[in-house]
Amino acid sequence: MIMKQLLLFMATVLMVGCDTAMSNGQKACDAAGAWADAYFNCDYKDAKGYVTDDSQKWLQFAASNTTEQDLKRLQEAGGARVTASDSDGGNDTLQLVTLSVSNVLTATGVADEATFHVTVVKRDAGWQVRMEGLPQSGMRSRD
């Protein structure tokens, strides 16, 4: 009887441990996806809730460089659509997330698709995107 209880206890501990590890990556992806959905649709006010304090300056910079014409082009394209996926598994406090974004606003118009990598860190407030600059597409130039 004691052996059964011990095995049941050990199995429960293992399942909880695995669930916690998986949920870190999923929570980071969810935060990055929510940030990207707001950011790439030029909703910088909403995006502010998903970034670290030291990233606020990059949102302000992006907002100050977004014109009414940019917003109109993005709206005509149907807005940005985002898919987030875990890139490297990360650890308990740091995750690298890959973002696939359709209808990306660029300096020359709206691109069909681009890939971005963002760093997501765990803070007291939860998982937050750490911007070290404006997002840059991971797609290579055709040159």
Q: What is the DSSP letter of 126?
A: E
Question: What would the two tokens of residue 16 be?
Answer: 């909880």
* Per-residue confidence band for 34, with pLDDT thresholds at 50, 70 and 90: very high
Q: Does 46 have pLDDT greater than 50? A: yes
> How would you class 21 by CB atoms within 10 Å of its CB: exposed for 0-12, middle for 13-18, buried for 19 or more?
middle
76-102: per-residue pLDDT in tens? Answer: 999 999 999 876 666 788 999 999 999
Q: Tell me which residue of 128, 140, 29 sits closest to 86, measured CA to CA.
A: 29
Q: In which order are the strands placed within the sheet that holds 126-130?
A: 81-86, 94-106, 109-123, 126-130
pLDDT of the residue at 43: 97
Q: Top-level CATH class of 2-130?
A: alpha beta
pLDDT of the residue at 133: 87
Q: What average pLDDT does range 42-66 have in this prediction? A: 95
pLDDT of the residue at 18: 33
- The ranges assigned to domains in the chain are 2-130
Higher pLDDT, 25 or 97: 97
Q: Which residue has the tokens 């606003």?
A: 105
Q: Does 29 have pLDDT greater than 70? A: yes
126-142: per-residue pLDDT in tens? Answer: 999 999 988 888 654 34
φ, ψ at 107 (rounded to 5°): -65, -25
